[in-house]
Every structure is written in structure tokens, then in C-alpha cells.
Amino acid sequence: MTIETRPESEAWRGAGGEKPLHLSHSNSPVRTVELDLDSLNNAGFEDVSFVEYPLAEFAAKHLETIATIYAHETQSTNFGDLCYAVFFGVVGSNDGIILEILKSALQYRHGVPDAVVEEHLGHTATGKQRVRVRNSPDSIAFKKNQNAYHIEDGRLWAPYEMGRWHTSDEWSRTARPG
């Protein structure tokens, strides 16, 4: 299922222009969780897409939640040395809970099916090395185009391509029957 983004960040589901998504944004800085991407790579992970599973499970259980998750990649020294990091911030309802879900999934793979963890690991990695994640001292005012995910109507949505969004039943397989 895909949705199309219209001008002014108005997102729509499907090609028929049904009910719009309500992307959340703030011009003010928001709290962030920071991930050391170098440590993630050293643990054998190529990306963070495995967080889609616990986020989709949360969305399926909290139908009233409307929140947009933003990501900003940059260099950081917040872990005591220079590394390449990604900062995640959430704008919308249940933002603190969603940040904790992200932190737990990134650091300990909580809520992520074992098969998905294995799928994201390189052939020689074990995934047992510690991934450095923390509540960041930095609050960030994210740009509208830095959205990584959106939660609404019990589903997790992700940008698909320019102006389009998608959702997947696969992400929700641990949360939805059948």
C-alpha cells in the first residue's frame, strides 16, 4: 500500500486521494535518541530498518497515536570519540514512549524477531557486539524532509520514493494475526 505526498507535506493513501496522513512537525528542537552508526556496523548490521517491527507492533496496539519519526545523520562526539551518528526524534503523541522503543530496539533488538536480526547481520557477524545508543543531550529542530517513519491509524508508514509512502503487513506480523 502506498500513499502520495501532495504540496505542503499533505500525504495521501493510494492513488485515489483518500484520507490524508497527518504528518507531525515542530519548528522547535525535540528530544533525541542517538545511535553510533559505526558501532552498528561493527556489530554486523548494515542499516536500522529492523526497528520497523517494534514500531509497527506499537502502532497496531495504539490506534490513537499520530507521530512522525525523524532522523538526522551527522558526525558526533557524544560517545566520547568521533563517530558517525544518527539522531532520532519524534513529534506527536506518545513521543517519549516511541523514543524508548527505538532505543531498546537499537541497543538490545527488543521487539525484533530473531529471524529479522539474523537477516540483517553480515555473514561473519554475530550481532553480539554492543551497539552504542543513548538519550542524546542534543535536541534537534528537524527539517520536514528528514522524516523516517510515520505512525497513524494503527500502521507504520515509511517514505518509499519521492512523494510516496508505503506500509507493510510484514512489519506487523508479530502484532497482527494471520
pLDDT (tens digit per residue) in 117-149:
555 555 444 545 678 888 999 899 998 889 899
Residue 175: pLDDT above 60? no
Q: How far is it, in rounded angstroms, from Cα 103 to Cα 110?
A: 9
Residue 115's pLDDT band, with cuts at 50, 70 and 90, is low
Average pLDDT in the chain: 78
Domains of the chain by residue range: 27-164
More confident residue, 89 or 11: 89
- Name the E strands within 14-169: 20-21, 32-36, 67-76, 83-92, 133-135, 147-152, 155-161, 164-166
pTM exceeding the 0.85 threshold for the entire prediction: no
